[in-house]
Structure 1
Amino acid sequence: MFDANNSIYFGMNGAVGWIDVDAWDKTHDAEASQGWCPAVLDTNGDGKITQGWTEPDRPIDPAKDHRIDFGCYSVAVNPKDNSLWCSGIGRGQKRLMRLERGTNPPLTCKAEFFEPPPSLPIEAFGSGGVEADHQGVVWQNWRSSGHFSAFDRSKCKTTSDPKSTGQSCPEGWTFYRKNDPTWDGSPFHSNESYLTHMDVHDVLGLGKDAPMYGSNNTDAFEVINPVTKQFVTLRVPYPLGFFPRSANGRIDDPKTGWKGKGLWSSYSTYATWHIEGGKGEGGPGVLPKAVKFQMRPNPLAK
C-alpha cells in the first residue's frame, strides 16, 4: 500500500512499517529509507505523544500516554489525510486502528482505535481487511460475523479515549450485512469474507470508490453500490473454486467505455487442486487463474 509521498507500508503485530521508495532510490541508505510506528494513545489528553508511556501489560496512568497491542494484517492509507489504518485478523479481533506518523516517528506516532458498539443485534467480530475511500470513510470486512462496515471519523463527537475502551465514537459506524445462509443453529454466515478492496477508478461502472470484499465460499466479490448502498454480487460460475485474495482495477483504453476497463483478480486458494477440473495435486486444470470482471452499463450495451 503506497501513500501520496511514495512510501510503501506493511503491517505486523504491534506496529506498522514503511519504506520511503524515493529516499531509497536516491540514497540506497536502508536505515534512512525506512521507519515504523507503534500504537501509543494520547490517554493523558495533552494532544501529543510523550515518551515514558505505560506499556500494554501495565495499568493506564492518567498522567501518561499508553501503548497498546494491535494486529495489522491489512493496512490502508486514507487519501483524505494520509493517516494509516489497520485491521487485525482472527476470530477475536475487533480493533480498527488509526495511526499518524508525526514529525519524528516512532517517537511522535499517535494512535486511536475504535471497536464496534456492543449493542449490535449480531455482534461484529473477527476483522479482516481494510480500505479507505476519498471521502475519508474507512471500510472493513468482518470474517467471522459477516458484517461489512463503514467508519466515518468525521462524525465523531470526540475521539478522546482516556480509558482505552475503543468506544469513543459509536456514531461513526455504519454496518451492512447480507442475508446469506448461516450455520445450523448459528446467526453467522457459512461463507467468509477475506479482504476489503476499493474500486478507486470506477472500472465497474458502479461509481468511484465502490467498496467490496472477496467471499471465499461463494466464488464471488460482494460490492456495495455507492449510490443505492445495496450489495452487487460478482460471481465466477465456472470453474468452481474461485477464491479471491486481491482486486485491482485497470483501465486500458478510457475512450472505449466499459470495454476498455475491468477489475482483475485471481484464484488464490492454497489447494488449487480443489478447483473444478483438477485431478489431484499437479494434475490438469489446477493452475491458478486470472479473472477479469467487466460490467456493461445495460444488458444490450455494445
Structure 2
Amino acid sequence: CVGCHQLGQESTRTIPAQLGHFESGADAWMRRVQSGQWGNAMTNRLAGQLGGVPYKYFGDWTERVAKGELPKNKPPRPLGIERNIVVTAWEWSAPDKYLHDLISSDRRKPTVNAYGPVYGAPEYSTDNMPILDPRTHTVSSFRMPVADPNMPLSLGPGHAGQVKVTAPSPYWGDRAIWDTRANQHNAMLDGKGRVWLAASVRGRPNPAWCKKGSDHPSAKVFPLDLSSRQVAVFDPKTKQYDFVDTCFGTHHPQFGYDADNTLWLSGTGQVAGWVNTKTWDETRDARKAVGWFPFVLDANGNGNLDEFTDAGKPAAAGKDARFNPGSGPYAVMPHPTDGSIWYTSGVFGGRPGFLRFDPRTRLSEFYQVPKEAIGLRGGDIDKNGVLWASGSSGHLISFDRRKCEGPLNGPNATGNHCPEGFAMHRYPGPGFEDYPNGSAEGSYYTWVDHHNTVGLGENVPISTANLQDGFVGYKDGQMILMRVPYPMGFYAKGLDGRIDDPNAGWKGRGLWSASGDRTPWLNEFGKGARPLAVQIQVRPDPLAR
C-alpha cells in the first residue's frame, strides 16, 4: 500500500461509511481496495500475489482502532536540528488529480533556474503539467501534447492504472478521474533550464527502427518491440515541446557528467538506455541520439565485451553472460567522476540490488542486497561513488564498491560476491514486534544532496519518510527527521534541491518536493484537498531570521 500512499492516517485507519456495512474488517478491506482506477491492481496484489492474507490483518487493525486501541509508541518531539526546519507549502493542480513529483533545478548545478518556477509531474492523472512560481505564489499549467492526439489513453495494459474504475470510490463514485496520454512520470532540468520529461509521446508499439531487422546499432544487438513511456523536452522560454522517441521505456531521468550531456533513463527494462542530448540538439533526430544496450556480465573475466549467452542459459566457456535485471532499472545514478551508470534493480521482481553499467566497455556488474534488507526502491549516488537506497526492511542501505575484496568480474561475480560493501542504517520510527531491529518506515526514495542545497551539509543522503510525514537525512551517523506538519499525511515520492542565492544564507537554498501520493484526498483536508508543493529550509537555530 505504501508504494502509492501513506498508511495509518485517519483516512486509512478507518473505513469510509460510504462503502457500506460489512460483517468483518477483512470484508471491508476486500471491498475497499477495489475502489477506483487502481482497484484491479490492488486486488491482484492482495488477493493474488499475497494469497488474500493481508485482508485479515488490515481488517484486524482497523477493528482494533475502532475499539480505541492506540499505538504503543509515541512519536518523539523534534530535537536539535529538527527544530530548525522551515516549511513553505503551496497548493497546485486539481482536487481530483495527483502529482508524482516535481523538479526545480539541474542536479549537477543547482543554481540553474534560481528563483524560477518548479514543474510538476502528474503521471497518470492528467496531461496538464502544473507550474508554480514561488516568487509570486501563482500557479499556471502547460498541457502536454502527444504526437498522435488520437492515441489510446496511457492507461490499461502496460500501465499502472486502468481506463475504468473497478468499483466505485467512496470519494469519486464511479467517475474515472485519470485521463492522461502524456503520462509524465518524472523530469530533470538541463544546464539551459529546459525540462526533460519521462513522458509518453505515442502509443506502446515501437517504430520499425527499434525492432528486429533494423540497421540501428542498438537494435542489431537487442531489438525492442514496445515502450510505454518515452522522452519529451519542454523549453519554458519558448513553450516549445519536442518529442524524443525512445525505443525503451522511461521512468526517472538523470544527466551524466560527460561532454555530450547524456540523459540516462530508468524504467528501461532489459537494457541500459540513453539520449545523447548534444546529438539531439544538433540533429533533432532520435535515431541518431538514442541508444541502448543489454546488461552483460563479464563472465569470462577478461575485462572485454565478448559474445554472450542469453539470460538464464548455462554458462559457456569463453563467453560473457547477459544479466536479467528482473523488473529492470528503477533509480538511475550517473557516477560523478568515473562515467559509470548505476541503478537500483529488481524493485518489483527479480533479485533486488545495485546494477552497474559501464558505457565505455558495455559491461555490467550486479550486487544483490543482503537478505536482511529484503529489498530496495529509490536510490542515489554520492560524490564519492557510494550508493544509498531506501530499504524494504526500514533501513537506509549503503554500498561502497571500493570495499569489495574479491574479483568484480569472472564466473563468481554474479551478485553475492561483495557483502563487505554493504551497510544498513535504521530509519527512525517504531518497528514490528517480531522484527525489533528494523523500522516500519516504508521509504520510497533516497536522494543525495551533493551541494548543500538543503542546509544539512554536502553529500548528505536524504530519504522520503513516507510514514512520518516528510523526509529523513543521515548526517554524521544520526538520522534527522524533517516533517511537514500540516496538513497531516504528507507523502513524497522524490525530492530535489536548489540554491537560489548562495550568498543569502539559509533563505537562499532549500529542498523541493511534492506530495506524491495518488490520493491527496486521504490527507487531513479530505476530499477537496489539492496536491502540495513544498520547500524545506534549515535555519541555523529555531529563532533565526
Say whether the fold is shared (TM-score over 0.5). Answer: yes
Shift of 1:184: 5.0
Q: Which residue of 2 aligns with 1:217?
A: 467
Distance 1:45 1:68 in 2: 15
2:312 maps to 1:57 = yes
More displaced 10-residue stretch of structure 1: 249-258 or 169-178: 169-178
Change over 3 Å in CA distance of 1:154–1:184 after alignment to 2: closer
2:324 maps to 1:78 = no
Q: Which residue of 1 aligns with 2:541?
A: 298
Distance 1:176 1:161 in 2: 30
Distance 2:389 2:316 in 1: 31
Aligned ranges 1:16-31 → 2 under 5 Å: 16-31=272-287
Q: Is the 8 A contact 1:138 1:152 kept in 2?
A: yes
Q: Is the 8 A contact 1:213 1:223 kept in 2?
A: yes
SS at match of 2:380: strand
Aligned ranges 1:60-209 → 2 under 5 Å: 60-70=315-325, 71-88=328-345, 89-90=347-348, 93-102=351-360, 108-118=361-371, 123-142=372-391, 144-157=392-405, 158-187=407-436, 189-209=439-459
1:190 alignment partner AA: A
More displaced 10-residue stretch of structure 1: 54-63 or 290-299: 54-63
Change over 3 Å in CA distance of 1:116–1:263 after alignment to 2: same
Q: Which has the larger share of helix?
A: 2
Change over 3 Å in CA distance of 1:93–1:238 after alignment to 2: farther
Distance 2:464 2:379 in 1: 12
Q: Is the 8 A contact 2:396 2:424 kept in 1?
A: yes
Shift of 1:161: 4.3
Q: Is the 8 A contact 1:137 1:152 kept in 2?
A: yes
Distance 1:186 1:229 in 2: 22
Shift of 1:13: 2.0
Distance 1:289 1:173 in 2: 35
CA deviation vs aligned residue, 1:251-293 (integer Å, no higher than 9, x gap): 11111100111101111110111121122xxx2xx11111110
Q: Percent identity?
A: 39
2:517 maps to 1:265 = no
Q: Is the 8 A contact 2:498 2:512 kept in 1?
A: yes
Change over 3 Å in CA distance of 1:223–1:73 after alignment to 2: same
1:99 alignment partner AA: F
Distance 2:388 2:427 in 1: 16
More displaced 10-residue stretch of structure 1: 231-240 or 181-190: 181-190
CA RMSD across the alignment: 1.8
1:232 alignment partner AA: I
Q: Is the 8 A contact 1:92 1:126 kept in 2?
A: no
How many residues matched?
A: 284
Runs of 4 or more above 4 Å deviation: none
Shift of 1:164: 4.5
Q: Is the 8 A contact 1:203 1:258 kept in 2?
A: no
2:252 maps to 1:9 = no
**Higher relative contact order structure (alpha carbons within 8 Å, sequence separation ≥ 6):** 2
More displaced 10-residue stretch of structure 1: 158-167 or 64-73: 158-167
Q: Is the 8 A contact 2:279 2:288 kept in 1?
A: yes
Aligned ranges 1:32-43 → 2 under 5 Å: 32-43=288-299
Q: Is the 8 A contact 1:161 1:168 kept in 2?
A: no
User: TM-score, with normalisation over the residues of structure 1?
Assistant: 0.88
Distance 1:241 1:91 in 2: 28
Give unpaired runs (5+ residues) of structure 1. 103-107
